[in-house]
């Protein structure tokens, strides 16, 4: 029988009150609290904390505190990753950022979602869908990436956009729900 964590990572309904998941979220909360208390005078400590928190780090990264996440272990970042102040990543499933990604202030990335059936929600069940962000993507401030979306290489997500569907490579999207505004030459 699969564990609640295994079901969570596969995108199946799972019980978030499972003791293992509660402990993993507590670990992430402790690491993010520690990270958010750091100052810019200790970049090595910041990097060590993020490398312990995230599932994988491929190269240079910089995250402006404060930062929040559910687990951290499901966040994977490529080379030259930057997230501005107040970034939130709800990583019940994998969140993957390619190389050279920039996140503006208060960007939110959600993999967590809930069943439409009220009785399942009331029972505490939830599930998730992974989010994938390609190389060279810029996500403007206060943009939201919803569960299950894929952002193509070189795309730009306008400030305040709510991305509910996949974004092709090399375009600018904006609005709620986000739609293609133009192609990037």
pLDDT digits (tens, 9 = 90+) for 23-48: 999 999 999 999 999 998 999 999 99
Q: Which among 5, 114, 129, 142 is annotated as catalytic?
A: 114
Distance, CA of 131 to CA of 158 (rounded, Å): 18
Give the residues across from 72 on adjacent strands.
none
| pLDDT given at position 118 | 95
Average pLDDT for residues 36-62, to the nearest whole number? 95
Give the residues across from 73 on adjacent strands.
none
Average pLDDT for residues 147-151, to the nearest whole number? 98
pLDDT above 90 for 71: yes
Structure tokens at 38: 């750091």
Angle between helices 43-53 and 19-36 (to 10 degrees): 170
Average pLDDT for residues 141-160, to the nearest whole number? 98
Structure tokens at 10: 């596969």
Q: Can the peptide bond before residue 177 be classed as cis, meaning omega within 30 degrees of 0?
A: yes
| pLDDT given at position 67 | 98
pLDDT above 90 for 185: no
* DSSP-assigned states of every residue in 62-119: EEPSPEEES-STTEEE-SSEEE-TTEEEE-SS-EEE-SS-EE-TT-EEE-EE--SSHH
Q: Is 114 a catalytic residue?
A: yes
pTM of structure: 0.96
Place of tokens 């969570």: 8
pLDDT above 90 for 102: yes
pLDDT above 90 for 90: yes
| pLDDT given at position 144 | 98
| pLDDT given at position 68 | 98
Q: How far is CA 109 from the centre of its chain?
A: 4
Average pLDDT for residues 127-135, to the nearest whole number? 98
pLDDT above 90 for 92: yes
The answer to whether 174 and 181 have CB atoms below 8 angstroms apart is yes
Q: Which of 126, 147, 110, 130 is closest to 18 using CA atoms?
A: 126
Q: In the predicted model, what is the mean pLDDT of the chain?
A: 97
| pLDDT given at position 143 | 98
- CATH superfamily of this structure's domain 4-183: Hexapeptide repeat proteins (2.160.10.10)
SS3 51: helix
Average pLDDT for residues 48-69, to the nearest whole number? 97
Q: How far is CA 51 from the centre of its chain?
A: 15
Domain regions of the chain by residue span: 4-183
Q: Which of 123, 115, 128, 121 is closest to 70 using CA atoms?
A: 128
């Amino acid at each position: 029988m699969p564990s609640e964590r295994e079901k969570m990572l596969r995108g199946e309904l799972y019980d978030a009150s499972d003791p293992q998941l509660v402990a993993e979220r507590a670990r992430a909360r402790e690491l993010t609290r520690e990270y958010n208390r750091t100052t810019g005078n200790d970049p090595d400590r910041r990097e060590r904390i993020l490398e312990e928190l995230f599932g994988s780090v491929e190269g240079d990264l910089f995250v402006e505190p404060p930062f929040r996440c559910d687990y951290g272990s499901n966040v994977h970042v490529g080379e030259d990753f930057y997230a501005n102040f107040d970034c939130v990543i709800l990583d019940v499933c994998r969140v993957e950022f390619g190389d050279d990604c920039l996140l503006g202030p208060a960007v939110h990335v959600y993999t967590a979602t809930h069943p439409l059936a009220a009785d399942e929600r009331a029972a505490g069940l939830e599930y998730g869908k992974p989010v994938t962000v390609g190389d060279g993507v810029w996500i403007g401030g206060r943009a939201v990436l919803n569960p299950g979306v894929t952002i193509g290489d070189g795309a730009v997500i306008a400030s305040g956009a709510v991305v509910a569907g996949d974004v092709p490579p090399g375009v600018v999207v904006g609005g709620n729900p986000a739609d293609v505004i133009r192609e990037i030459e």
